[in-house]
Chain A
Amino acid sequence: MSSFDLVVIGAGPGGYVCAIRAAQLGLKTALVEKRTTLGGTCLNVGCIPSKALLESSEVFEETMNHAQDHGVVVGDVGLDLEAMMARKERIVSELTGGVAALMKKNKVQVFEGTGRLMSNDRVAVVDGDETTEIEAKHICLAMGSTTIDLPFLPADGDRVMTSTEALSLDTVPTHLVVIGAGAVGLELGSVWRRLGSRVTVIEMLPTITPFADKQAAKTLERALTEQGMEIRLSTRLTAAKVLKTKVKLTVEHDKKGVETIDCDRVLVAVGRKPVTDDAGLENAGVQLDDAGRVEVNDRHQTSVPTIWAIGDLVRGPMLAHKAEDEGIAVAERIAGMPGHVNDEVIPNVVYTDPELAMVGRTEAELKEAGVPFKAGRFMFRANGRAKSLGSETGLVKILAHTTTDEILGVHMVGSRVSELIAETAVAMEMRASAEDLARTCHAHPTLSEAVKEAALAVDKRAIHS
């Protein structure tokens, strides 16, 4: 039986990064993955393919509707959905192939099959009828998460879809209803609206993106509504009937009462749950917490000290970059190094147009914690670069401690703010003050000037507003 210092189960961004870091540190490392390609949900059916389609659909919509704003005259604009999907597939296969090459380069041995704990130091790799057992000093669980079904509307992969199918349709739906106004629902809703669908988003809560700052969420909601997305807040899906070519949905609004919606496709995007059922956790005595996630301590050790767990399996936001950082920290800890993850500074992005990006705490969270803060806001409509891009929607808001001026949260809505959030995350990780950002020279004309202006606005001395 082959034996390893570390066996990582799950080759998503958390798992494969953990394996590379461990190999860099000289640990003999194996990676177990049930998919035929590496990269997990993120690369195969998540972040990456959705970004590819978002970009393509944006080009389509820009050409259709906004080329003329720039004085560009185009003839007939058409959609070749098959080519668009092929481009997406190519990007995905290049990246998953890249991960496989990284494994080879770092001498991480990859096992194809479902990884199952047999004991606290033994993993069975089950691939069809074949089972290979390997021995491990340490095990890192990184099986990730899967979509949550609605009990009365189970996904059938056709009329009722999860995000996976919504990334691979061969025709543009006439009317797509999205259940859940989180990142996945709004991003895929945007893709299909741009490509011609009527899109209705049903959300139980009174706000979209409930994790975001209220002002940012409201700004994004208004922008999406203006683009023609129908967003129904405080609305509950109460019944559904799946017919051959359409779905009849009954929804109930808090005040407006009951209504029926007919559509040809439904995307259920109400959240994800950790994958804990097929991993043999009970064989090793790995315990779950009350929410059904794998329970870990501050160092990401499970109830069995040599078994570690990261990413969507454990507490915290289900984000690829959070899983990556945890994977690196776990590899370093196994190698006897300190390892570091700062849960307070994990950026979060929704890739709609405009984008929403945030890091740190919201106004509501700070108020609830009784932390005194000042807010500085700057609107993109007063930013030269935003004007030239034709995207004046949105703002940058910086929240800083009243006494120390330390940055506690940053919230952005606007074009390309997914890239702008990084500088504020660096600032927060260094525990910088708003004044530190305000006193850092930003290139002109760029969108990043809005960050500087918002930092100035914390001290009520913004120049351009």
Chain B
Amino acid sequence: MSVEVTIPEIGESISEGFLAEWSQADGAIVEAEAPLLVLETDKITMTVTAEVAGRLEILVGADETVEVGQVVGRIDPDAAADAPDAAAEPESTAAPAPKAAAERDLAGLSPAVRRLVQEHDLDPGLIAGTGKGGRILKGDVLGFLEREEEAPAAPPPEQESAPDHTPPAPEPPPAPSSPAGGERQTRTPMSRLRRRLAERLVEVQQTTAMLTTFNEVDMSAVMDLRAAYKESFAARHGVKLGFMSFFVKAVVDALKTVPQVNAFIDGDDIVSNHYYDIGIAVSSDAGLVVPVVRDADRLSMAGVEAAIAELAGKARDRTLAIDDLTGAVFTITNGGIFGSVLSTPILNPPGSAILGMHAIKKRPVVVDDEIVVRPVMQLAMSYDHRIIDGKEAVTFLKRIVDCLEDPQRLLLEV
């Protein structure tokens, strides 16, 4: 009796995916738990494994869009018994595998890259090329393989102090990406992630009444605190004390102070959240992703930093699971790391508000009727005006400013 290979549930809002490749050839004898196929969705790439050992029959080929629950193949477990030692000896499955790789489009790859891709059965589409016009270099594949090796053995979060998966820097460093042939215009298809991102951004603009409020925060107190405790914090907790934990904690405090912000419109209902999962926008090679720090209200500062470091590492290695990306009630995005001093963020639904951090600049500020130089960050909060009124939005943002200018408030909750 054959066991069906179906597309598994991949998250609340995802109903379809893209069958990027079969890792096994049609008719191959597979082991239980062996990787069968690679499924791409808007935000993640996941591998579907075999439930049982047996002979694989492929029903839906690669490069097809598939729906959750769709049957894409069958495994005949009786065939496993017919093939003695199939499970015990992985070599026996290795034979058909190169066929799958050979069928892949290897045109345009340099000979060394071709060899590595075939030897390791890789999908060249997943490897970011740093050569001319985005060509994949041998070093890119070697770096990819190294990250692949490290990724499954990711250390537990409490040990993870800003994980450094940076591959050894190739010499000379990648040239700036001016078009190789000096063309004035080039055309490339959008990636799936970029396409989905584009759709969602337009959708948000069309379905919400989005508005942005601004404020500015004197960062001296947070910076002094960081300077004073940065070493003892790192020594005690094994993570660096960054700015993000202050902002996450301030946001949690503000959400508690102004609970209307922690709610969203669903049809004709208002749904109020009573938990504090905060999304952090992270720019990765694959594009913008928003992994979520769960129950930030129950985490210590060190807990927040560790959670962010772990998620950032996963984003870099593209090992984010769908659970890491869904359910944020509020989002923080930091344009400051690229140098922005002011920009208006777009909502990340179902959250009804998003906070934009920016670069800290020294600015003249009037304190006690004196002009002094202070490190100042502009804050921008976009919100859905259908559910959040101006008064609430401004109060919310002011609360964040107060908490950051006097972090002791976070401790005392005043």
Contact = CB atoms under 8 A, between A and B. Distances in A.
Interface of A: 332, 337-340, 342, 344, 369, 371, 401, 403-406, 408, 429-433, 435-436, 438-440
A298 to B, nearest CB: 10
A406 B170 CA distance: 8
A430 B139 contact: no
Given A405-B138, A405-B139, A431 B131 contact: yes
Nearest to A371: B171
Contacts of B179: 338
Contact of B182 (A339, A401, A406): A339
Give the dominant DSSP class at A's interface.
loop
Contacts of A339: 182
A384 to B, nearest CB: 24
B142 A403 contact: yes
Interface of B: 110-115, 130-132, 135, 137-139, 142-143, 168, 170-172, 175, 178-179, 182, 184
B132 A401 contact: no
20 contacts: A337-B182, A337-B184, A369-B171, A371-B171, A401-B170, A403-B142, A404-B143, A430-B110, A430-B132, A430-B135, A431-B135, A431-B170, A433-B112, A435-B112, A435-B138, A436-B110, A436-B113, A436-B138, A439-B112, A439-B115
A406 B182 CA distance: 24
A432 B132 CA distance: 10
Contacts, number: 75
A405 B131 contact: no
B138 A406 contact: yes
A30 B19 CA distance: 60
A332 B182 contact: yes
Give the dominant DSSP class at B's interface.
loop
A404 B141 CA distance: 9
A176 to B, nearest CB: 41
Contact of B131 (A338, A344, A401, A430): A430
A14 B13 CA distance: 61
Contact of A431 (B132, B168, B184): B132
A260 to B, nearest CB: 49
Given A371-B171, A401-B139, A433 B110 contact: yes
Given A340-B178, A431-B132, A435-B111, A404 B184 contact: no
A371 B169 CA distance: 10
For the complex of A and B, the 5 pairs showing the least CB-CB separation, nearest first, are A404-B139, A439-B111, A435-B112, A433-B138, A338-B178
B111 A406 contact: no
Nearest to B114: A439
Q: Name, among B112, B115, B130, B175, the residue most crowded by chain A CB atoms within 10 Å (CB to CB).
A: B112
Q: Name, among B115, B178, B182, the residue most crowded by chain A CB atoms within 10 Å (CB to CB).
A: B182
Contacts of A429: 132
Q: Name, among A337, A369, A408, A433, the residue most crowded by chain B CB atoms within 10 Å (CB to CB).
A: A433
A408 B137 CA distance: 14
Contacts of B113: 436
A431 B135 CA distance: 9
Nearest to A432: B110
